[in-house]
Structure 1
C-alpha cells in the first residue's frame, strides 16, 4: 500500500522528476546509497519523501539552479528500507511527485538455501525448478543476475520433512547462450523490504551442443587423504571459461580460465580431504555457448578410516600356475559394507559385498580369478568402505604380489638345522636346483612378501641360494616354499615341496612320551609311541632326531583325564631305530610348539635268537636224516648186487 503524498503537499503543474537509487535499489546493510532526483533546469529546491512520513525526509538545495539533486545515505540500516518519492520547487511552483523507488535492505537475517531440482545441470531450452528454503521466514524472492536483472516473488509452504519453509520457482526456457546465475532471499510478512542475506549463487550448467571436454585426475583418481591432486579439463581452443561441477553440489565447485597457451584448465587441490570425494564433470564456455558435459570422474579418497586397515592374502598361494585359478581374500576386523580390490599401475578395481563371519568376528570378501594369465600378475591391495560413502575408502591393505608359476622343474628346499628349533638359534634354508636358475624366491605361507636372492653355483653345477636367520624368533615359524626363475622371464618355476619350520618353548608345558609295548622291539613287530599331556594340547608332533623328513602330526584326543595321541608303526624295521621327542601345539598356532618331552630311545633288533637256534637244529636234523637215508640206500643196493652174483654162479 502506498501513501498519497497529496495529503501533505499540493500537487504541482510542473513535469514530475525521475528518482533513481544508485548503485541499486536492493542494497546490503551498511553500504552506501545515493538517491538521484532529476528535475528541470531552474529548480531551486529538491525534496525526498519516505512513505509513512508526514514531512519531507530530506531536502537539498542545488549549488545553483539545476536539474538534479543527490540525497546520500552513507551507511544503510534496516530503518532505511521503504518507498521513496521526490519532487522539486521552482519560482513557478511545485512539480508532480516522482515515481516510487522501493529501497530494499538485505542482510538483516541469515541466508536461505537455493538449489536446483533435480540438478543445476540443464538442457538448453528446457525448464528448471529452483527451490529456496529457510528455517524462519516464509516469503521468498528469486533474482537473476545479468544485464537485465529479473526477480520473482513467491509464497512458501512448510516442509515437515526438512523442517523448513520452501518456495518453488519454475524458470524457463533457459538458454545456454550466456551464463545464468540466481540468488534468493527470504523475509517476514511484516517487513517486505527487509530481506535476509542472499543465498549462495546458483549457476546453471548447460548440456550444450559443443563437443564435450575430457576430464582426468593426476596422479590418479584414487588419492590418499592429505595428498595433492590436479583435475584437468580439456576442451576446445576457443573456450573462455572452464567450470568444474561436483555431483550433489548446487554451485560450480570451481571456475577457471584456460592455461595459456592451450585448450585446458587446471583445478588444483593441494590437500585432499573427505569433502573432495565424489563424482565430477566439467564444462567449457565460449562465444558459441556451453559445451556438453564431460564424462564422469570419480575421485576416491583413501585413508579416511585409518583404524580399518584390512589384510589381503592369496588362496592357496600368491604363486599360481598359468591357466589355473586363484582367490584373493580381503579381511577386516571392523565393520564395512564393501571391499575394493585394486591392481597397482592399472585402472582395475573390483567390488564385492562384505560378509560377516561369526566364527572369527570378522568381515571378509573373496575375489576369484579364473584362468590366470600374465596380465593377472602384479601388486594388489584391498580397501573397505561403507555403502553410503562409496568414494571414501579405508587405508589400504599391505601390498600382495601375485606371481605366475611356469612349467619348469621345481627346486628343492631343505634346512641345515632341522625342522624344530629353539628360539635364539640360527637357521638357514637352502633352495637349490640342477637347472641354472638366475634367482630364487622364498615364500612363507600367509604372508604377502617374497624374499629374493640371486643364485650361486656349486662346483658340481647346481644353482642355489641361502636364506638365513641369525636369531630365530616366533615369527619365523611357518611353512615355506621356494621358486626359481631366469632373469629374462617373468614366470617362476613350479613350487618346491613345502617345508615346515617349528619353534619350541611357547609355553612352559612339557608333554610325556612312552613306547608300547617296549622301547626295544624286533624287526617286523608293531610299536606305538604315545604322547600325553595334562595341559590342553590340540595337536601332538612326533620328531625323530636327525631325520630329514617332516615331523609327524596327530590331533589329540581327551581320554583318561588327559590329552593324548598314539603314533602307530607297523612292521618296524631297523631304520626306525633312533631318539624320539614329542611336542604339543594349540589352536591355529601350528608352528609354535611347547617344550619337548624327555627323549625316548627306540631300538629295533634283528630276528629272535631262540628261533634262530631252533631253526638251525631243525636244519641239522633234516640234513642228518638225509645222510642216513642215503647210506642205507647205498648199502641196500650193494647187498642186492652181491645176491645176484652168487645166484649167477
Structure 2
C-alpha cells in the first residue's frame, strides 16, 4: 500500500513538471547577478539565468534589447546559464531580463533586475543632523547634499535588507545649493546601521555618483556596558599623545567611540590580546579633542549599553601669564586640620580649578579680582585633612563656555599629611665651604619612621620638592630570637646563587636583612609559616664580590614597621672569583657542587709541592757545605803531617835571594816549609805583615796581621815557628839583612800556658767568628 502511494506521488510530480511544456507554456526563468546589483565602475559582473532543464538557448536583455545569446550544450544539460561582463561601465547600467527556448518554444521573461553602476559623478556629503546615538526603536535625521545641481538623491543601508530611500532635493536657485533630509527609523538594536548617500540624473536612474562617506548610527542596546579610560590620564597637555581604551564583553566584534555633541562616530576593531578590548590612539592631542566621550560595542547578540562618561581635558591652551599656587608655610600638615591653597594669576579667567596630580581630587571656584595686587585669585580650603590628600597639586584657569580647555599649569605644590605637629621639625640652613646649603636636625629621642626634608626661601612660601625618603629603624624593641643562615655555603664563587634565610619561632610579620657598612636600604620580605616557624628567604642570583660582607636580620610587626627586634647572630658571606673549567684537564670534570672541594685540594697540593722543593734545596746546600768542610780538613791533615816530619826545634830563615844554607838538611826542611806556605798564599790569598814587637813585652809574643779572606776558611792549621827563629829574623833586620816581608799565619803558645795554642787576631775578627 505504501509503495503504491509513493509511486503515484512521484508520477504526479513528474507530470506536473511537464504539463507546461505539453500545453505550450514554459516556466519563467530566474535572473540573479554577482557580486551585487550595485557595483562600481570597472567591476566584473556575472548574470545567472536559471531555466528548466532541456533548454536549447538562453537570452539576456538590457532595457528590452538583446545583449547576449548562449546556446546550451546538449551533452551536459544544466538549468543555469552565465553571462559574463568584464570591466563594466555606465553603459552597462540598466534593467535586465532573461529568457530561454526549449523544443521550439520560448519562455516568458524573468523578473526585472537593475544593475546600478556607481562612480559616474563626484560623491555627495552625508551627515547626521541629530545625535548619531539612538535607543532601540528610535529615529535619526540624515542630511545628504549632492555635488551636482538637480540630481536626485538616494540613501542606502548596507546589509542584506537592501533598504533605500529616494527623494528629490530642495534647492536654492540663487545659491544652487541642494539637500535632502532623510528621517529614518525605527532603528533596532539587532543590526548595524551603516548609511551611504548617492546622486543620479533623472533620465539615467541606474548611473549613480560615487558613494558618500559612511555614517554609522549607534544604537544603545541592552548588553552589559563597557569600561572606558584614558592613558596617561584624562587631563593631558596639548600636543602630546594619548590612548583611549574601551573594554566590554568577550564576544564584542567591534567598538565605537562617540564624543558628545559630535555628529560623527569612530570605530575600531577589537584586540585579541590581552582580553577583548579596543584601543584608540590620538596623536597629537589638540583642543578639538576635548570633550565628553562614551564607548559602545556590537556583537552577534546586538548592541551594548553606553559606557560611563570620560571627560577629556586639554591643557596648555592659554599661556599668556603663568599661574601661581601657594600654600601653608610648611608642606607637612597635621592630620585632621584644614589647609588653604591660593591660586593667583594676572590674567582673567572665569574659574580656577585645583587638581591633584593623580586626578583623584579636583575643585573649581570662581575667580575674584584683588585690586591691591592687581591679580585674580581663588582660595581653596581643604579639610579635614586625611592621608588621601597627600600628594602634588596644581591649579589651572578656564572659561565657562569651554570648560575642557585649560590654561598652562601652575607650579607644583606638595602636601604631606602627618600624625601630628610633633613630626615637624624646622631648622635654619648654613652654607658649607663647598657652597652647599645644609641644615642639621637633632632628634631628642629616637623615633622610628620615614623622614623627608624640604627647603624654602624666606621671600617665598613655595617649598622645594621633597628629598628621597629616609627610614629610621629602632632595633631591640622586640624580644624575639632570630636566626640567619646562608645556603649553599658562606663561601661561594662569583656568579653562583645564594639564599639567606631568616627565621624565628616567634610571630614575625616582616623580616629585614641588613648588610654592615652598606649605604643601601635593608631588604624587607613578608614572612611565611613553614614547619611551625616564621621564615623568609632572601635570594641573590649571580652574586659578585660586592655582596661580600657581614649580614644580620631583624623582625618587625605590621603595626610598628620601624620598631625592630634584636639582631640575629652575624653571618659572613665571602664571594671569591670564579673557577674557570677551561683551565682544567679535558678529561677532568667537576660537578657544580664540587668546585669548592676541588679548590681546597688544589691549594693543599700546591703547598705540599712548595714545601718539598724547599727541603730539597736545603739538603743540596747543606751537602755542598759539608763537602767544602771535608776538603778543608784534608788540607789541615796534610799540614799536620808536614809539621811532624820537619819538626820545630831549629829556627828557619829564608831569603828571597839565592842564599846558601849551612845545613843542607835544614835547607831542605826550610824549602819544604816555605813551599807549603807559598802554596797556601797562592791558594787562599793570605797576607801576613810582620813587625817588631813593642818594647816592654816581657813574653816577646809575636802578633800577626791576617787578611780576612783567610779567616773564612775553617779548620786551617798554620806551621809553628819558634820564638828563637823570630828573634833571629829581628836581629838580621837590625843588621840590615833582608828579611821576608811575608810569613804564614802564626799560632803562639805563651810560657806556662796549656798545650793548646791561643790565637790572637788583629784587627777585629771577621764578622761571624
Residue of structure 2 in register with 1:19 after alignment: 31
Correspondences of 1:231-630 after superposition (within 5 Å): 231-236=244-249, 239=252, 241-250=254-263, 252-257=265-270, 259=272, 262=275, 264-269=276-281, 271-274=283-286, 276-303=289-316, 305=317, 307=319, 310-314=322-326, 319=331, 323-331=337-345, 339-352=352-365, 364-371=376-383, 373-374=385-386, 375-385=388-398, 389-402=402-415, 407=421, 411=426, 413=428, 441-444=454-457, 445-446=459-460, 448-450=462-464
Q: Say which is worse superposed, 307-316 or 351-360, in terms of deviation.
A: 351-360
Confirm or deny: 8 A CA contact 1:229 1:269 kept in the other structure: yes
Normalised by the length of structure 2, the TM-score is 0.47
1:295 deviates by: 0.9
Residue of structure 1 in register with 2:235 after alignment: 222
Residue of structure 1 in register with 2:602 after alignment: none
Q: What is the rounded CA distance, in whole Å, between the counterparts of 1:110 and 1:338 in structure 2?
A: 48
- Pair 1:130–1:193, CA change in 2 (3 A): farther
Q: 2:140 aligns with which of 120, 129, 146?
A: 129
| Pairing 1:187–2:194 present | no
Correspondences of 1:625-636 after superposition (within 5 Å): none
The count of residues paired between Structure 1 and Structure 2 equals 431
Confirm or deny: 8 A CA contact 2:329 2:461 kept in the other structure: no
Residue of structure 2 in register with 1:586 after alignment: none
Residue of structure 2 in register with 1:104 after alignment: 116
Deviations 1:334-382 (A, max 9, x none): x8665443212242223445678999998x5524225462554431123
Q: What is the rounded CA distance, in whole Å, between the counterparts of 1:318 and 1:372 in structure 2?
A: 17
Residue of structure 2 in register with 1:516 after alignment: none
Residue of structure 2 in register with 1:170 after alignment: 184
Structure number with greater CO (CA < 8 Å, separation at least 6) is: 1
- Larger Cα Rg: Structure 1 or Structure 2? 2
- Pair 1:407–1:33, CA change in 2 (3 A): same
- Pair 1:87–1:287, CA change in 2 (3 A): closer
- Pair 1:96–1:239, CA change in 2 (3 A): closer
1:131 deviates by: 0.6
Q: What is the rounded CA distance, in whole Å, between the counterparts of 2:367 and 2:86 in structure 1?
A: 65
Confirm or deny: 8 A CA contact 1:309 1:397 kept in the other structure: no
- Pair 1:414–1:47, CA change in 2 (3 A): closer
Residue of structure 2 in register with 1:31 after alignment: 43
Q: 1:157 aligns with which of 170, 181, 189?
A: 170
1:324 deviates by: 4.6
Deviations 1:408-430 (A, max 9, x none): 5985648899xxxxxxx998877
Residue of structure 2 in register with 1:624 after alignment: none
Residue of structure 1 in register with 2:483 after alignment: none
Higher relative helix content: 2
Residue of structure 2 in register with 1:467 after alignment: none
Q: What is the rounded CA distance, in whole Å, between the counterparts of 1:18 and 1:256 in structure 2?
A: 39
Residue of structure 2 in register with 1:56 after alignment: 66
- Pair 1:135–1:332, CA change in 2 (3 A): farther
Residue of structure 2 in register with 1:6 after alignment: none
Q: What is the rounded CA distance, in whole Å, between the counterparts of 1:339 and 1:196 in structure 2?
A: 52
Confirm or deny: 8 A CA contact 1:309 1:383 kept in the other structure: no
Residue of structure 1 in register with 2:91 after alignment: 79
Deviations 1:130-179 (A, max 9, x none): 3132153553322223333222223333599996512222311x332333
- Pair 1:439–1:195, CA change in 2 (3 A): closer
1:207 deviates by: 2.5
Q: 1:200 aligns with which of 213, 229, 241?
A: 213
Q: Which runs of 5+ in 1 are unaligned?
A: 1-11, 418-424, 456-487, 490-649
1:27 deviates by: 1.0
Confirm or deny: 8 A CA contact 2:226 2:297 kept in the other structure: yes
Q: Say which is worse superposed, 393-402 or 348-357, in terms of deviation.
A: 348-357
- Pair 1:404–1:36, CA change in 2 (3 A): closer
Secondary structure of 1:79's counterpart equals helix
Query: In angstroms, what is the RMSD of aligned CA positions?
Result: 4.5
- Pair 1:415–1:70, CA change in 2 (3 A): closer
Q: What is the rounded CA distance, in whole Å, between the counterparts of 2:207 and 2:366 in structure 1?
A: 54
Confirm or deny: 8 A CA contact 2:94 2:114 kept in the other structure: yes
Q: What is the rounded CA distance, in whole Å, between the counterparts of 1:446 and 1:161 in structure 2?
A: 65
Q: 1:119 aligns with which of 115, 131, 145?
A: 131
Residue of structure 2 in register with 1:507 after alignment: none
Q: What is the rounded CA distance, in whole Å, between the counterparts of 2:431 and 2:217 in structure 1?
A: 75
- Pair 1:78–1:346, CA change in 2 (3 A): same
Q: What is the rounded CA distance, in whole Å, between the counterparts of 1:450 and 1:33 in structure 2?
A: 75
Q: What is the rounded CA distance, in whole Å, between the counterparts of 1:187 and 1:402 in structure 2?
A: 68
Deviations 1:437-468 (A, max 9, x none): 9765331344744276899xxxxxxxxxxxxx
Q: What is the rounded CA distance, in whole Å, between the counterparts of 1:402 and 1:43 in structure 2?
A: 92
Deviations 1:313-340 (A, max 9, x none): 216757586535523324376x866544
Q: Which runs of 5+ in 2 are unaligned?
A: 1-23, 446-450, 470-560, 563-769
Higher relative strand content: 1
1:388 deviates by: 5.5
Normalised by the length of structure 1, the TM-score is 0.55
Q: What is the rounded CA distance, in whole Å, between the counterparts of 1:330 and 1:30 in structure 2?
A: 66
Deviations 1:194-222 (A, max 9, x none): 22332333334333233323322344223
Confirm or deny: 8 A CA contact 1:117 1:128 kept in the other structure: no
